[in-house]
């Protein structure tokens, strides 16, 4: 089985928005042994969309169309599918009822414009969307199975995962992608340690990428079935992990916050945060993980120096003598946070994220992260990040969390 993915929208063909849906769907299909032959992006043009659906259905036996199912005038995918099938749109009463209920439950009144979202080409099956107003659709066009899903990524993903995935055929051969994330070494250092495993044309192939402050290693394996994939990939994964040691953070969807959370949960311990230049980013990352209330107490965003004194108990003299961006202040922030939150651990950050505020002595990118614990001596680490505001903040947040992650790992072993 092979697939073509169509993405609809002027915001895509004009370059205003980058299409990420097609990559997501291709990865999901590949993991089920379905190869994607092509992605096609078409603007909000009814005739072109209809033509693209027809062409895609001649090329592949699975066609997924994203976008153009909204309630406005420029949403034309349902009309184009009707044109392709040579049928009319009809009001689907059940779909309308679901839509009205969707609004009612949220205490909103459905406006007339949304009725179009219950207009379905005759003979086309409605796929209920429980997270938005644009229903998905399923149809046969010639020998191809066609699915229509909304373009909003999280609605698209919901429909794929909850409705479409179960309808795909049993998988034939597998291409699996496994990813190992590392933190604490540069890409070239990681590459040097694993260069002999990165030969072109090998199976699995091993490659590195840098994204979101992490150096990640992709292991792509081709085999007939899951057992075959495992036999080929597991020795390589094991070798990679063994060579890279404690800089290995986790795999796949494991984020720094998730891994740190699991370590805290297993230890039955809690953490609190004291952030200056990151302004809540660590807290936000930790609480992005469902269930983080089990181990995260909360934090203080001490953006203003007065708050560092009043809410974290950092002595005024320390601030005056060393400045807010200094090792003593980072340590005092962590110690004060530990005390105020009565948690097992506290991590703190103070730094200069720029673009302004740097000096020769304390340049933009200078960050101190510190860790305090109930039973161990506090530590602080000084880093100079060679990047811009967003990256300095992200990497500082990761560095602070990594201080606790590696400490928890060393306490376990």
Q: Count CB atoms within 10 A of the CB of residue 101.
A: 11
Q: What is the dihedral of CA 321, 407, 281, 22, to 10 degrees?
A: 150
Q: How far is the CB of 261 from its own copies (least distance, A)?
A: 12
Per DSSP, the three-state class of 265 is helix
Contact in structure between 78 and 92 (CB atoms under 8 Å): no
Quick one: 107 or 268, whose CB is closer to its own copies?
Answer: 107
Quick one: 61 or 412, whose CB is closer to its own copies?
Answer: 61
Q: What is the DSSP letter of 31?
A: T
Strand 296-301 versus strand 271-275 pairing type: parallel
Q: How far is the CB of 281 from its own copies (least distance, A)?
A: 4
The yes or no reply on residue 187 touching its own copies (CB under 8 A) is: yes
With CB under 8 A as the contact rule, the residue among 26, 61, 269, 309 that binds its own copies is: 26
Quick one: 140 or 161, whose CB is closer to its own copies?
Answer: 161
**Ranges within 365-384 binding its own copies (CB under 8 A):** 384
The yes or no reply on residue 361 touching its own copies (CB under 8 A) is: no
**Ranges within 306-345 binding its own copies (CB under 8 A):** 306-307, 310-311, 340-341
For 4, half-sphere exposure in the C-beta direction (CA atoms, 13 angstrom radius) is 18
Quick one: 43 or 323, whose CB is closer to its own copies?
Answer: 43
Taking 3-state DSSP, the helix, strand and coil percentages for the chain, each rounded to the nearest 5, stand at 45, 25, 30
Dist. CA 242–CA 297, nearest whole Å:
34
- The span of 40-48, 82-90, 120-128, 233-241 binding its own copies (CB under 8 A) equals 40-48
The yes or no reply on residue 11 touching its own copies (CB under 8 A) is: yes
Enumerate the β-bridge partners of residue 384.
Answer: 366
With CB under 8 A as the contact rule, the residue among 191, 228, 315, 323 that binds its own copies is: 191
The yes or no reply on residue 24 touching its own copies (CB under 8 A) is: yes
Q: How far is the CB of 224 from its own copies (least distance, A)?
A: 18
- The span of 119-127, 164-172, 349-357, 369-377 binding its own copies (CB under 8 A) equals 349-357
**Ranges within 219-258 binding its own copies (CB under 8 A):** 220
The yes or no reply on residue 165 touching its own copies (CB under 8 A) is: no
Strand 2-8 versus strand 62-66 pairing type: parallel
With CB under 8 A as the contact rule, the residue among 1, 100, 222, 303 that binds its own copies is: 303
With CB under 8 A as the contact rule, the residue among 147, 296, 345, 368 that binds its own copies is: 296
Quick one: 91 or 411, whose CB is closer to its own copies?
Answer: 91
Q: How far is the CB of 322 from its own copies (least distance, A)?
A: 18
Mutual orientation of helices 256-267 and 389-412 as an angle, nearest 10°? 30
Q: How far is the CB of 123 from its own copies (least distance, A)?
A: 26
Strand 271-275 versus strand 35-42 pairing type: unpaired
Quick one: 188 or 321, whose CB is closer to its own copies?
Answer: 188
Instruction: Tell me, by CB under 8 A, how many residues bind its own copies.
Output: 121
**Ranges within 88-147 binding its own copies (CB under 8 A):** 102, 105-108, 110-114, 131-133
Q: What is the DSSP letter of 41?
A: E
With CB under 8 A as the contact rule, the residue among 33, 204, 250, 354 that binds its own copies is: 354
Contact in structure between 394 and 212 (CB atoms under 8 Å): yes
Distances, alpha carbon 196 to alpha carbons 182, 200, 204, 231, in Å: 18, 10, 13, 19
The yes or no reply on residue 290 touching its own copies (CB under 8 A) is: yes
Residue with tokens 């969807």: 253
Look at residues 338, 398, 344 and name the one whose alpha carbon lies nearest to residue 369: 398
State the Cα angle at 390 between 388 and 393, rounded to 5°: 100
Residue 182: alpha-carbon gap to chain centroid: 16
- The span of 222-230, 273-281, 327-335, 399-407 binding its own copies (CB under 8 A) equals 273-281
């Amino acid at each position: 089985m092979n697939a073509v993915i169509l993405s609809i929208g002027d915001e895509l063909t004009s370059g205003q928005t980058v299409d990420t849906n097609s990559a997501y769907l291709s990865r999901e299909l590949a993991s089920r042994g379905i190869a994607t032959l092509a992605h096609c992006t078409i603007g909000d043009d009814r005739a072109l969309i209809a033509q693209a659906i027809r062409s895609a259905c001649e090329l592949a036996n699975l066609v997924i169309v994203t976008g153009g199912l909204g309630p406005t005038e420029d949403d034309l995918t349902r009309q184009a599918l009707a044109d392709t099938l040579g049928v009319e749109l009809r009001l689907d009463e059940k779909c309308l009822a679901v839509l009205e209920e969707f609004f009612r439950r949220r205490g909103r009144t459905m406006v007339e414009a949304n009725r179009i979202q219950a207009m379905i080409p005759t003979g086309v099956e409605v796929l209920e969307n429980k997270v938005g107003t644009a229903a998905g659709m399923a149809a046969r066009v010639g020998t191809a199975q066609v699915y229509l899903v909304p373009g909003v990524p999280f609605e698209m993903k919901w429909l794929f995962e909850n409705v479409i995935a179960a309808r795909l055929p049993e998988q034939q051969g597998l291409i699996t992608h496994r990813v190992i994330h590392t933190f604490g070494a540069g890409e070239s250092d990681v590459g040097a340690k694993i260069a002999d495993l990165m030969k072109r044309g090998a199976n699995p192939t091993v490659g590195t990428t840098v994204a979101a402050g992490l150096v990640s290693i992709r292991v792509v394996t081709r085999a007939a079935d899951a057992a075959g994939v495992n036999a080929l990939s597991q020795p390589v994964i094991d070798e990679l992990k063994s060579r890279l040691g404690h800089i290995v953070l986790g795999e796949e969807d494991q984020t720094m916050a998730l891994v740190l959370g699991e370590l805290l949960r297993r230890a039955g311990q809690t953490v609190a945060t004291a952030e200056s230049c990151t302004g809540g980013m660590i807290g936000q990352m930790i609480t992005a993980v469902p269930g983080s209330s089990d181990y995260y107490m909360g934090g203080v965003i001490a953006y203003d120096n007065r708050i560092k004194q009043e809410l974290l108990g950092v002595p005024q003299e320390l601030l005056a003598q060393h400045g807010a961006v200094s090792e003593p202040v980072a340590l005092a922030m962590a110690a004060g946070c530990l005390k105020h939150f009565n948690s097992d651990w506290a991590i703190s950050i103070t730094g200069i994220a720029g673009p302004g505020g740097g000096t020769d002595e304390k340049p933009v990118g200078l960050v101190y992260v510190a860790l305090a614990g109930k039973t161990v001596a506090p530590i602080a680490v000084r880093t100079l990040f060679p990047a811009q505001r967003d990256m300095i903040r992200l990497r500082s947040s990761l560095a602070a969390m990594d201080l606790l992650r590696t400490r928890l790992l060393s306490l376990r072993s």
